[in-house]
Amino acid sequence: MPIESQISEYLHQEAETMECPPAVSKRVEQSYSQYVQRQRSKKTMKKRLIGGIIAAVIMIPTAAFAAPPLIEMITRTPMTAKQVKMDAVGQAALEKLYRSYPETKSFEIIDASQIGGDPANTSQGKAIQTSIVLQEKGAHGKKVRLDLNGITGEIEQVNQENWEPQEKPVISLSDQEIKSKVDDLINKLYGSSSKYECNMEPMQTPDQKTFILNYTEKGSTTPFYQAFVQGNTISVSLIGGGPAPSVEGFFMTNGKPDYTADAFLNDEELFSLLHMSPADLKEELAKGASVVEIAASKKISKQQVMDVIASTQAKKQIQADPHGGATVDDRTLELMKRILEPKVLKVIEHKTETPW
């Protein structure tokens, strides 16, 4: 089973529902699984959701936009190798990869796609995410996958597969050797890993040995980088770090706050919609009710709750874009909200494991 599926299954179990296949799987459609995963204690969900989901997280003509089914998968637009190299975001990422790992210059682009935008018509607006997969020739050739934030150009996630001999995959190395491999990937594609505190621990997956590594800044509760190691694959996600939310512990996992839920539920618009204070909401959730059930008791629909949270998160991502994200049009905003919906749904339907 591929690492994406393993991680997806693990996070789903540990966080009690939540895996964005890759949007509701490993990142919407196997594009961003780790982008949107609910982590167990001290494991967070990516705050910069695709593009501006991120911003993945985490996009359609607003006035005429007809909302699709709640968890409809976002369609990816295939890209040719030529289109990737002509795309500013794709080109910059490839240049960084080639500088960091010169051998990849000979790798073939075997797959590429975008969420949002149109690689054949740049006037259609920016893509929210661009994914590129390169592979070395050979049955077990080295492979690299880059998931790029289409707005900021950042490498939101990188997968390195088959970079160790098949007879001695990366997961078979010592803990220190594994960490060194992850450090090297971060150092070459992001920046120095030495300024972060690293916590490495095994994940309780039923089929394969897996490690999760969280790289955290001093004083921060959210990892800046998060890595998964399984089989012969290393996957690193850029999360961005950050302090604890203003209200903690809406949900608890292993006695500690669920930072994914906290990030989504600390929303003034949500409190206003529910006519509740953060303390009141926290108390009701502790009794075993879900946000959806609490809203229903006030005759507020699930869709209303989801719209409020998804809109807040999408706007945060746009405002966080240092390259003019504040000017992103309604089409981009709507697509980001659609990408966020599966993640939001998991949070608002969740019930705490330890009700009073």
Task: Report pLDDT digits (tens) over 70-86.
Answer: 223 456 789 999 999 88
Max intra-chain CA distance, the chain: 60
Torsion of CA 95, 97, 103, 108, to 10 degrees: -80
What is the arithmetic mean of pLDDT over 177-181? 96
Task: Give the pLDDT confidence score for residue 243 in this predicted structure.
Answer: 64
Q: Cα–Cα distances in Å, from 287 out to 239, 262, 301?
A: 31, 17, 20
Q: Give counts: helices (H), strands (E), the chain.
A: 10, 11
Predicted confidence at residue 221, as pLDDT, reads 72
Segment 146-169, tens digit of pLDDT: 999 887 788 989 999 999 999 999
Mean pLDDT, rounded, for 12-25: 41
User: Does 353 or 47 have the greater pLDDT score?
Assistant: 353
Query: Per residue, what are the HEC states of 154-187?
Result: CEEEEEEECCCCCCCCHHHCCHHHHHHHHHHHHH
Taking the complete model, does pTM exceed 0.75, yes or no?
Answer: no
List, in sequence order, every residue forming a beta bridge with 218; answer none if it has no partner. Answer: none
CA 162 to chain centre: 23
**114 vs 148: CA distance, rounded Å:** 9
Residue with more model confidence, 346 or 181: 181
CA gap 233, 334 in Å, rounded: 34
In angstroms, the CA 67 to CA 64 distance is: 10
Half-sphere exposure of 206 (CA within 13 A, CB side): 8
Q: Which of 34-43, 73-82, 219-228 has the lowest average pLDDT?
A: 34-43
pLDDT of residue 26: 36
